[in-house]
Homo-oligomer: A and B are copies of this chain.
Amino acid sequence: MNMEEKKYCYKYPHPAVTTDCVIFGFDGEELKVLLIERGITPYKGHWAFPGGFLNPNETAEEGARRELREETGLDSAHIEQLHTYSTPDRDPRERVITIAYIALVRIQDVRGGDDAADAGWFPVENVPPLAFDHGEILRDALRRLRERIYFYPLGYELLPEKFTLKELQTLYEAVLGVQFDRRNFAKKMQRLDILTQLDETVWPTPKREAKLYSFNIEKYNELKKRGFKIEF
């Protein structure tokens, strides 16, 4: 490499810093994660989370939002910092420290991949080979998501505006990997008092119509502050 290209010099060694964005979506059946196939070495052909170097004038969260926008077209999803990964040799090229974020998106709002021919949604329980330490990052992200749904309301970030109780329950079951009793789940949600029952209905199956709900966002955010414990 030409030495003139390396023009940013420091007295002490500085690691490179990137942001990665673990983007979760829910398709009504399964919890999915957005991955990009790597076209270059190292780990060519493996899959990775959207990510890249942090720009000099942006915060890590801005970097993560930039990645999210580039891959999904979304500007305003729920995003939160997950963890920072700093094992010295996690990237074979040079020392790279990655600030990982979790984003929760409404999968139906995601712009179909224009620059994303090499991007795809995968069920979180069945992902292709991952690059770097992204397997560990995914495990951590799932643990965090389970912790969140366990103690704070979840659904607004991942479900469409209007949804059925069944969809909400399926989301909970997909995230936690357990089965809930239909009736007790409905009662729990009613008691939490964060749902608004709409006048509309849909026919999710040809068998019977189902009521539509939306979140009462004020009470939802209140409960988000307070926290609770869901356990069936």
Contact = CB atoms under 8 A, between A and B. Distances in A.
Interface of A: 1, 3, 5-17, 53-54, 56-61, 81, 83-84, 86-88, 95, 97, 99, 147, 150-151, 227-229
Contact of A228 (B14, B60, B95, B229): B229
A186 to B, nearest CB: 21
Given A150-B227, A227-B229, A54 B84 contact: no
Nearest to A99: B84
A229 B16 CA distance: 40
Number of copies of chain A assembled together? 2
A43 B6 CA distance: 32
Given A60-B84, A86-B99, 7 more contacts: A6-B10, A8-B14, A15-B54, A17-B17, A17-B97, A151-B151, A228-B229
B6 A14 contact: no
A192 to B, nearest CB: 13
A17 B98 CA distance: 11
A88 to B, nearest CB: 5
A89 B193 CA distance: 43
A14 B10 contact: yes
Q: Which of A14, A17, A86 has the most CB of B within 10 A?
A: A14
A9 B88 CA distance: 18
